[in-house]
Structure formats: C-alpha cells, structure tokens
Amino acid sequence: MQVSFTTGEIATITQATGQRGSTTEVIRGISGLAKASAGDLSFLGNAKYKAEVATTRASVVLLPADFTGEPPPGQLYLFVENPSVALARVCAHLERLLWPKPATGIHPSAWVDATATVAATATIGPMCIVEAGAVIGERVHVQAQVFVGRAAKIGDDSWLMPGVVVAAECRIGQRVQLQPGVIIGGDGFGYEFVQGRHEKVPQVGAVVVGDDVEIGANSTIDRARFSQTVIGDGTKIDNLVQIGHNVQIGRHCMICGQVGISGSAKIEDYVVLGGQAGVAGHITVGKGVKAGGKSGISSDVAPGSFINGNPAIPYLLERRIAILHQRLPELFKRVDSLEEQLADAKKTSS
C-alpha cells in the first residue's frame, strides 16, 4: 500500500510553528538525513547529526525552532518544538493508514463464552478464546489466537496482538498495548523446601495493569501469590522482561529489554531500568531512579539516584572504578617491581 502526504498535511500533523523554503514534492517516505532522497521526510533528532542537514536530499526536514540556516531550492524546513516527537506523530498517522483495525464483531472461528461481555465496538479476531465472565471493553482490538481468561477485564481502546494471554481474574486498563506473546497472569515462581522437596506455593492473586501501559513482545508479568501484581499508569515495558509476583511498579516507568524484577519488589514512579538490569526481591527502588544496563540492584535505592554496575553503586563512582580496573595490570607490575626493590634493599642492608 502506497501512502503519501502533502507538505501541508505534514505541517498540520507535526504542529509546525514556522517554515523556511518550499518544495513541490509529495512525501512518500521517511529516512535519516544521510540516506534521504527526493520525496522523503527527515528530521534532526540529535544535535550530533546537525552537519548532515546541509547535505541531505530530503524534501522536507523537521528541525528545532532555534535552528539557523537556509534550505537549498526545492527543500522545505519545518520548525517544530521537538523533531523526534513531530516525526512520531507522522508515523502514528502512517500506522493507522497501513494497519487499520478490521470491522467490529467476533470472528466465526473465535470461541466466546455465553457469560462473557463483549462491547459491540470491539473486535475479536480468529481463533481467540474469551472465557466465562470476561469483559471486553469498547473499541478493544483482540487479534488472532488471543486468550482472555475467566473474569478477566480488558479496558476500552486496548490492543491485544497475536498470541497474548490474559489469565483469569487479571485486569487490563484503558488504551493498553500488549505486543505479541505477552503473558499476563502466569503463576509466580513460589516454592517452599519441605522434607527434601520443593513444594509449590499456590498463586491465587491477580495482575492489574493501569491505563496507557505498553508491554513488549514475550514479556511476562506473574500473578500475585495473594493480592495483586501492579503496573502503574503510563509505564512502558520492553521485550523479554520478567516481572515477578506481587511486584509493584509505579507510574510512567521505563523498563528496558531483558530486565528481571523479583517478587515483591517495589519500583516507584518515573524509574528507568536499563537493559538486563536485575532487581532483587522485597526491596524498594525510589522515585526517579535511573539504573544503567546490567545493573544488579540488591538493596533499597534512594529516590533520584543514578546507579550502575553489579552490585549497583552510584554511577560516577562506578565509572571511576571501571577506569581504575583497566589499570590493574600496570598496578600489579609496579607492585612486583617495588617488592623486588625492597628485597634487594634488605639484602644490601644485611
């Protein structure tokens, strides 16, 4: 499917505050500054690429309002508050055109229990299962092979992509996006060692996902041992993330790929966890904490901290230690040399 935009449509979508130059081209593609050609839209999202603006062949370039410089003939500069956000708005329009939601209703191959409630504006795709007492809200889009368990609830305007599982009693808020393979409400990893064997601890709680949450492909959020595992409003979770039972994640957190959060940990609002970071159970990571990739967080972290390393320590200290670590071979040589000098001095004095 070929999609195109006029320059006027681009200006409206991006909420441009000004412009410089002009072009007669229709926008048919999106590209980085260096690889763009006529008919492409590009943007300056990072100051390190500023020099490429002068040489780009893009027909329209999204630029910050304070950018100086004149476009060559046939090129249009559009000035916006944030070029990256402006481009994202264009992509959102493109996404709706390329992948429109299918007609509302229940596909003939889907199975929906008679006691389930499905809004008339919802879409239930092929080979889905909706169990007894489940509630599917207005304008919800459930794609192929999705399982919605007994008494689960899916909030308005949410989008469940192929292969998603929302297990019994779990609740999904409004405008939530669950990417392919997300599992909400699998059993928490709980066992007691009794008389030489691991005895399973029943996991009878639920998962509650707030509004405007996005969860990446093949991520898993375990149901609570009792009570609830909670994901706060606006939190974004990347692919292949494991969140254990009874974890409490606050609002507007960013949880990057392959992060693991152990049971009963508390992650407060606006926390950022870099890829492959690990959080031990029963600890609190304070509001606004930023943890670098592969950080090992094994104790409480004060609000606003910037940490890195394993075990995680303040970022600047960890960086200094990393630099010193590279000098260890030189340090050992110097110590060996000093020991030889001391030994020679003892021989001479004796």
CA distance 265 to 238: 18
Contacts of 239 (CB under 8 A, 6+ apart): 179, 216, 217, 218, 219, 257, 258
- The catalytically annotated residue of 93, 141, 245, 325 is 245
Dihedral-angle region of residue 92 (phi above 0 means left; psi in -120 to 50 means alpha; beta otherwise): alpha
What are the pLDDT digits (tens) for 187-228? 999 999 999 999 999 999 999 999 999 999 999 999 999 999
Structure tokens at 303: 């609000």
Mean pLDDT over 16-31 rounds to: 96
CA distance 223 to 243: 9
CA distance 331 to 320: 15
Mean pLDDT over 136-143 rounds to: 97
E strand or H helix that includes residue 172: strand 171-172
Neighbours of 164 (CB within 10 A): 26
Residue type, 143: Q
User: Which of 143, 138, 115 shows the shortest CA–CA distance to 127?
Assistant: 143
Residues in the chain: 350
CA distance 70 to 78: 12
pLDDT at position 96: 86
137 pLDDT higher than 70 = yes
pLDDT at position 1: 60
User: Which of 144, 19, 170 shows the shortest CA–CA distance to 159?
Assistant: 144
DSSP state of 17: S
100 pLDDT higher than 80 = no
Contact 77, 63 (CB under 8 A): yes
Does a cis peptide bond (omega within 30 degrees of 0) precede residue 311? yes
Structure tokens at 7: 């320059």
DSSP state of 95: H
Contact 318, 308 (CB under 8 A): yes
What are the pLDDT digits (tens) for 257-302? 999 999 999 999 999 999 999 999 999 999 999 999 999 999 999 9
CA distance 77 to 22: 8
Sheet strand arrangement including 306-308? 105-106, 123-124, 141-142, 159-160, 177-178, 214-215, 236-237, 254-255, 272-273, 290-291, 306-308, 313-314
Structure tokens at 196: 């030489």
As a whole number, the mean pLDDT across the chain is 96
Q: Say yes or no: domain 7-98 is CATH 3.40.1390.10.
A: yes
Residue type, 65: A
SS3 28: coil
CA distance 137 to 305: 39
End-to-end, the C-alpha distance of the chain in Å comes to: 91
Handedness of CA 188, 194, 199, 204 (dihedral sign): negative
**56 confidence band (pLDDT: 50, 70, 90):** very high
**101 confidence band (pLDDT: 50, 70, 90):** confident
**344 confidence band (pLDDT: 50, 70, 90):** confident
Window from 179-183, 263-267, 339-343 with minimum mean pLDDT: 339-343
- In the residue annotation, 245 being an active-site residue is answered as yes
Contact 223, 206 (CB under 8 A): yes
- Choose which CATH entry (1.10.10.60, 1.10.1270.20, 2.160.10.10, 3.40.640.10) describes domain 106-317: 2.160.10.10
CA distance 278 to 262: 8
Dihedral-angle region of residue 274 (phi above 0 means left; psi in -120 to 50 means alpha; beta otherwise): beta
Mean pLDDT over 307-322 rounds to: 94
What are the pLDDT digits (tens) for 33-48? 999 999 999 999 999 9
Cα-based distances in Å from 45 to 61, 128, 152: 11, 40, 41
Structure tokens at 136: 């599917």
pLDDT at position 106: 97
For the chain, give the percent of residues with pLDDT over 90: 90
